[in-house]
Amino acid sequence: MSVRRAEGLRFLSGIILTSTDPTRLVAFYRDVLGLPLADERHGDSAPHWACELGDVHFAIHAAADYPGEPTAVGSVKLAFMVFDLAPLVAWLAESGVELCYPPEEFGTESRITAVRDPDGNLVELTELGPSWLDHLRDHRANGGDLVTHWTARKR
């Protein structure tokens, strides 16, 4: 008798970065990029920093909180959507953060650039055009909205 997979994965619930210097990493994401990271602790878990980005939980933990887990530096590639790339690029320059490459066209309506965080991870910053937002609207209308999907399953 074979066992069938119950369901496919459809939603990303969290991104957890680990760092040997988490306070430095938090300062970059919170103070330079503007993520609303706050101190957080769940039950008996170690203190860490976290926030919600859309439907995704984003957290930074000390690598020591995960003994025995690999801590490859610079192995993560993140992509964040921004609504207006030009002022962010100016802020990064003023903050001394070097771009990996100058902003460039990404498709016909979008622009993209990237930086490296203090741990060496690539962080893409993308100003997505209207067609991408139309795609997301259609995706949500067709069941790609986490809250709607969860609510329907609970009925």
> Is there a domain that residue 137 lies in?
yes
pTM metric for this prediction: 0.85
Q: Model confidence over 122-148: pLDDT tens digits?
A: 999 999 999 888 988 898 888 778 888
Q: Domain span at residue 23? A: 14-154
3-state SS track over 68-136 = CCCCCCCCCEEEEECCCHHHHHHHHHHCCCCCCEEEEEECCCEEEEEEECCCCCEEEEEECCHHHHHHH
Provide the pLDDT for residue 4. Answer: 77
CA distance 140 to 133: 11
CATH number at residue 69: 3.10.180.10
Amino acid at 28: F
CA distance 32 to 76: 18
Confidence of residue 70 (pLDDT cuts 50, 70, 90): confident
> Is there a domain that residue 3 lies in?
no
Number of domains present in the structure of the chain = 1
- The mean pLDDT of the chain is 89
The whole-number average pLDDT for the span 80-103 is 95
